[in-house]
Amino acid sequence: MLQKSLAALALCVGLIACATPESVPSGANVWYDPTTNSGRNYTWRRNAEHGCAAFSASEGAPIVRLVVDPARCRGQIRTHDNCDECGPGFLYYGDTYAFFQNYWPWTSDDMTNGMIFDSNGMWVGVRPCPHALTPEQLATLRLVASEVHARATTDAERQTLERVSRILASTNGADLVSGQHGCSPPPPA
């Protein structure tokens, strides 16, 4: 009897420990990720009329990649760093790490040339981006963010997409700065 009770208790504790975080919608894919505290990473996608969004989350707020080409939304969309097959879009890791990707070629030389170093070789800032987004490109990104927001099912998705929308609203496309993986929105004032 005691063994059955302990087994039932262990099962309950195990199910609670494996519960999906509130920031993740039910039905998200889960995979083992040894780099996260929980050991789990969740991925999911939201399709929209003019594009889609791919999400990834472990313990915190989701990472989101907006894709503005609906045809590319049928393929694999990664949320980590480079995704050439994703086509043009916007990758948001958080308020301090977000960038536009695949609107123009971006090489390691572009990244290096965009960084500013002091006389001791220490990084001190970034240069303006040598590229710009058109008003039409920004309008499409804003539209996809809005469409995906309307399909969000968790508070964390909605909050993340609201932050993305604020960032997209704060740039005119010509005020971008160089970054590691592409041009980034200007830092908040």
Question: Quick one: tokens of 122?
Answer: 């220490």
Q: Is residue 170 part of a domain?
A: yes
48-90: per-residue pLDDT in tens? 999 999 998 876 678 899 999 888 887 767 666 566 677 889 9
Q: pLDDT class for 37, splitting at 50, 70, 90?
A: low
Task: Look up the pTM and report it.
Answer: 0.80
Question: Quick one: tokens of 176?
Answer: 């971008």
pLDDT at residue 152 greater than cutoff 60:
yes
**How far apart, in whole angstroms, are the C-alpha atoms of residue 88 and residue 23?**
26
104-135: per-residue pLDDT in tens? 877 778 778 888 899 999 989 888 988 999 99
The residue ranking higher by pLDDT, 35 or 18, is 35
User: How many domains in the chain?
Assistant: 1
25-34, 112-121, 142-151, 157-166: least confident range? 25-34
Q: Is residue 48 part of a domain?
A: yes
Q: Is residue 38 part of a domain?
A: yes
Q: What is the CA radius of gyration of the chain?
A: 20
**How far apart, in whole angstroms, are the C-alpha atoms of residue 49 and residue 144?**
8
Q: Is residue 4 part of a domain?
A: no
Q: Is residue 160 part of a domain?
A: yes
pLDDT at residue 16 greater than cutoff 50:
no
Sign of the alpha-carbon dihedral angle for 31, 33, 34, 37: negative
Instruction: Give pLDDT, residue 79.
Output: 67
Containing structural domain, residue 147 = 23-184
14: CB partners within 8 A, 6+ apart: none
Contact 162, 155 (CB under 8 A): no
When pLDDT is averaged across residues 4-18 and rounded to a whole number, the result is: 42
